[in-house]
Structure 1
């Protein structure tokens, strides 16, 4: 998910751990070994929730918590594969790959006691493709029959190729084979919504804990829509409630590393995110865990800015960012350099198993001398001696530090370029991005499903996540070929996507920064947290707190 939005070996940006006992003891609950541990986790999150409306979720933090309260037909298991959730069993897929049919379990309920039915999925899917909804992830439905026409306003949502066969069977009719379709069914935009409740809430749906229904292992409570705290509470109506051990997960947003560290050391929270020198300081601490992610961070250009339309300027801006220094000195959290758009160890060639990122290669390397030469040429072409660019990013400590580093690298190495920083809460940053109110956007992406297209689609000219407005007809044609003509030809599809990546390199379409990793101090008392390689990053639904 976006921008925040994961794969092979990935871990949550909010992973927390354990919980228990006296506030002064974060390592284990007090009392004898025979005493039962309190099944409460005290979790820290890096950012606020943006929405609980699954049709409108675009950030990974909202999806992570939304995924604890709402389940889809399928979920992603520990091996990164889609398996039945609300579906009672594996689906039936036609030989031509165009028809998917699932039988729903009949013991699934919403938190108000009403049954979860196929009609809830049909309603949610029709809402997703309805252009009035304005769902950024609606493009993922494009291979479902009539979805493109509905999104274009040419057909009605009721004509979507998703039908309920009674209350407990649903069929998806596709217009072309989609190799990753079952991954989509485990992704939050494809989750069900209770029509009666949603229509009763109207525009308020998903804007607070009181305006959303749960059908998953937890309900979400005590969130007013803007607050920095909320609670996950065990959902007694969940079909597998007897498998859920935690009674509560108390969540608070902590953006300052030093604050989280102090709270962790005093036993008031069960994890603390570390960056920079603190990672080195705690390198030998037994509670330190470093988790790599298949998530890339990058700077996106606003192509409406007349200066940034100059390819020499774009290249120069990329060449002065010392990513080796960024990951090793500034971040120091295990994040690694990356030369392109996709993370390493994410997807590999169907021919010889070569990693996509390795085959794509690097296209921007630190070279101040070359950058200054290009800047001089750009100034002559643009007819200016100096320019000012805004850089928009999140306001947590890590992202503010990265913003300041980027600002310094550009201003110190390209005299005449001024970078004005605007660090805001993530919810506001997403709004600024959607409104094109930036010149440079500090952002990132973690894949929602295990396919290279999940990254490459972001730069398609009509993608809702192409906030900067990048457009290249040849790039678009290759993406379209990978989705249609070569959808069932793995080798040709791979070549399409590699060729498209080459075009991004030639256009200096963005500035790659790093592949994320996360370093945390964690209380070891919580066991059984599932960290996924695809989709939502972590799952506490089968976790528990153990006594010493």
Structure 2
């Protein structure tokens, strides 16, 4: 029997679907009794580009882990096909007070954890208190800052029990805010705001979220066969899910494949149904009918460590930016549909509330490829710094794309700025996150994908005490503008927009980062699975309505 499945790709990761029989040889293997599959089972196979870091909802910081968590755990709301937050565990749309400070939701009464425990309002209260507890060290805790008493709790000034999230019995929950938060419903659909089963979590202790045995599901799939560090895991249909009769996929086998050529070879052999294409390989498949280009609300950029005395020199930072030819980078090196960007935010993400102009267009571009000017700036920087040469460490992930980018940027800097030595350090993403959190780098290849549809989601990254400000950039004027956008101007769309535009201008004036590209992926896909929902923000895909065509 020969069955093909359509592939799925996330906004920032490669996911390959392979059929239980992409060719005759694999069909005989995958559908044999020894494999446990039958022709009627809907079993697909993905490959992911990186390992899972954790399945603890409040500790996840990378998109790959978040995407898989989103298949296993649901929150009050989820993002629908139109990009809007809609009820998930919530029984209805909920109510919001006229002043925008109180959100109340009733929970469905038929939602259970995979151990049989009912999902209750207290599960959300417990998870939210854990998120803001300073002892947790959750990077996304700042997203809760407009919830009553959250800032004081995060500062260690109040107890977590005083957080403005309360359970009114088992099936009603209330959030009290200190100021209107236009994007709050999007936060309720984000993984950091998902519930946790208190009894189970406390039983697991430090092991919670570190393997499939230490994770509970309340969503469409359960996580299986993940040991916490391995390169494979499975998603199995959750028969206890409240909408289990609508879930068509039985099993999703996942393996990590970091090399583009390996993925393409598997696709050509009929063993997978999706492969990411980059560089020269894109040109080879330019006319292939299975090629699909998917643009993402995600930017990639170079981050500076401001603790490095050399990188505190603005002429050196500008010089580094001027030697990176982003046109060559996106069209020759990557060639995957990614596009140049001139600033911090992606295009087609948010628009001016009065004029409708895109944020990135209004902000404009601030760096252009100019190696001759870069050399002049480097000479001036050397004089100011009193050095003839410097060495910089450059941290990035170890997947093929990241390594190619790192080598390209290394070459551009070393070939154009005589005396600057760049030492590459490419490590697994899980390790890169830990290393960068510790500030153990000079240059960092990183990026950000939208968690929710608001410019503040990107601008917050450069706030002086943001956990994602790994380079420790600090500018008091920038911080003040971000504070205004969140407080005094929160209800004035035009003033808030101007605050964020001015803050962006400060970033560019300071050469606080080097914009590289807005990410896209060119994929080879087998069009045999229908109903996958792709999202531009938050969890990037939803498999709960996917099904395989005969």
User: By the TM > 0.5 criterion, same fold?
Assistant: yes
CA positional deviation for 1:20 = 3.1
User: Contact conserved, 2:306 with 2:473, CA < 8 A, in 1?
Assistant: yes
Distance 1:469 1:256 in 2: 32
Distance 2:144 2:95 in 1: 19
Specify the SS of the correspondent of 1:203: helix
Specify the SS of the correspondent of 2:520: strand
Q: Are positions 1:151 and 2:154 aligned together?
A: yes
Q: Are positions 1:15 and 2:35 aligned together?
A: no
Q: Are positions 1:300 and 2:293 aligned together?
A: no
CA positional deviation for 1:19 = 2.8
Q: What's 1:363 paired with?
A: 366
Distance 1:528 1:175 in 2: 39
Superposed, 1:491-506 pairs within 5 Å as: 491-506=494-509
Q: 1:257-298 CA deviation, whole Å, 9 max, x = no partner?
A: 111111111122221111101111011111111101110000
Q: 1:375-399 CA deviation, whole Å, 9 max, x = no partner?
A: 0000000000000001000000000
Superposed, 1:338-349 pairs within 5 Å as: 338-349=341-352
Q: Are positions 1:120 and 2:123 aligned together?
A: yes
Q: Are positions 1:101 and 2:114 aligned together?
A: no
CA positional deviation for 1:533 = 1.6
1:272 to 248, 269, 275: 275
Distance 2:248 2:25 in 1: 21
Specify the SS of the correspondent of 2:21: coil
Distance 2:209 2:529 in 1: 29
Q: What's 1:82 paired with?
A: 85
Superposed, 1:60-79 pairs within 5 Å as: 60-79=63-82
User: Contact conserved, 1:26 with 1:264, CA < 8 A, in 2?
Assistant: no
Q: Are positions 1:378 and 2:381 aligned together?
A: yes
Q: 1:158-204 CA deviation, whole Å, 9 max, x = no partner?
A: 10000000000000000000000000000000000000000000000
Q: What's 2:230 paired with?
A: 227
Q: Are positions 1:242 and 2:275 aligned together?
A: no
Q: What's 1:4 paired with?
A: none
Q: Are positions 1:337 and 2:329 aligned together?
A: no
Specify the SS of the correspondent of 1:224: coil
Q: Are positions 1:204 and 2:198 aligned together?
A: no
Distance 1:25 1:333 in 2: 31
CA positional deviation for 1:347 = 0.1
Specify the SS of the correspondent of 2:153: helix
User: Contact conserved, 2:60 with 2:192, CA < 8 A, in 1?
Assistant: yes
1:486 to 484, 489, 493: 489
Distance 1:430 1:410 in 2: 24
Specify the SS of the correspondent of 2:311: coil
CA separation of 1:295/1:257 partners in 2, compared to 1, >3 Å: closer, same or farther?
A: same
CA positional deviation for 1:38 = 3.7
Q: What's 1:186 paired with?
A: 189
Distance 1:42 1:539 in 2: 16
CA RMSD of aligned residues (A): 1.7
Q: Which runs of 4+ in 1 moved over 4 A?
A: 22-27
Q: What's 1:136 paired with?
A: 139
Specify the SS of the correspondent of 1:330: helix
Distance 1:60 1:522 in 2: 21
User: Contact conserved, 2:303 with 2:446, CA < 8 A, in 1?
Assistant: yes
Distance 1:486 1:25 in 2: 63
Q: Are positions 1:522 and 2:525 aligned together?
A: yes
Distance 2:313 2:319 in 1: 10
Specify the SS of the correspondent of 2:263: helix
CA positional deviation for 1:66 = 0.3
Q: Are positions 1:476 and 2:479 aligned together?
A: yes
User: Contact conserved, 1:10 with 1:293, CA < 8 A, in 2?
Assistant: no
Q: 1:464-522 CA deviation, whole Å, 9 max, x = no partner?
A: 00000000000000000000000000000000000000000100000000000001111
Distance 1:382 1:47 in 2: 39
User: Contact conserved, 2:280 with 2:335, CA < 8 A, in 1?
Assistant: yes
CA positional deviation for 1:132 = 0.5
Specify the SS of the correspondent of 1:297: strand
Distance 2:144 2:25 in 1: 48
CA positional deviation for 1:529 = 0.9
Figure out how many residues of one structure are paired with residues of the other and give that number. Answer: 536
Specify the SS of the correspondent of 1:279: helix
Q: What's 2:176 paired with?
A: 173
Distance 1:124 1:269 in 2: 37
Distance 1:231 1:270 in 2: 17
Distance 2:226 2:404 in 1: 29
Instruction: Tell me: higher relative CO, structure 1 or 2? Use CA pairs within 8 A at least 6 residues apart.
Output: 1
CA positional deviation for 1:525 = 1.2
Superposed, 1:447-466 pairs within 5 Å as: 447-466=450-469
Distance 2:43 2:527 in 1: 14
CA positional deviation for 1:371 = 0.3
| Runs of at least 5 residues in structure 2 that lack an aligned partner in the other structure | 1-8, 32-37
CA separation of 1:18/1:488 partners in 2, compared to 1, >3 Å: closer, same or farther?
A: farther
Distance 2:453 2:85 in 1: 11
User: Contact conserved, 1:26 with 1:265, CA < 8 A, in 2?
Assistant: no
CA separation of 1:25/1:490 partners in 2, compared to 1, >3 Å: closer, same or farther?
A: farther
**TM-score, with normalisation over the residues of structure 2?**
0.95
| Runs of at least 5 residues in structure 1 that lack an aligned partner in the other structure | 1-8
Specify the SS of the correspondent of 2:203: helix
Distance 2:252 2:216 in 1: 18
CA separation of 1:439/1:415 partners in 2, compared to 1, >3 Å: closer, same or farther?
A: same
Specify the SS of the correspondent of 1:54: coil
CA positional deviation for 1:10 = 7.5
CA positional deviation for 1:122 = 0.3
Distance 1:287 1:97 in 2: 47
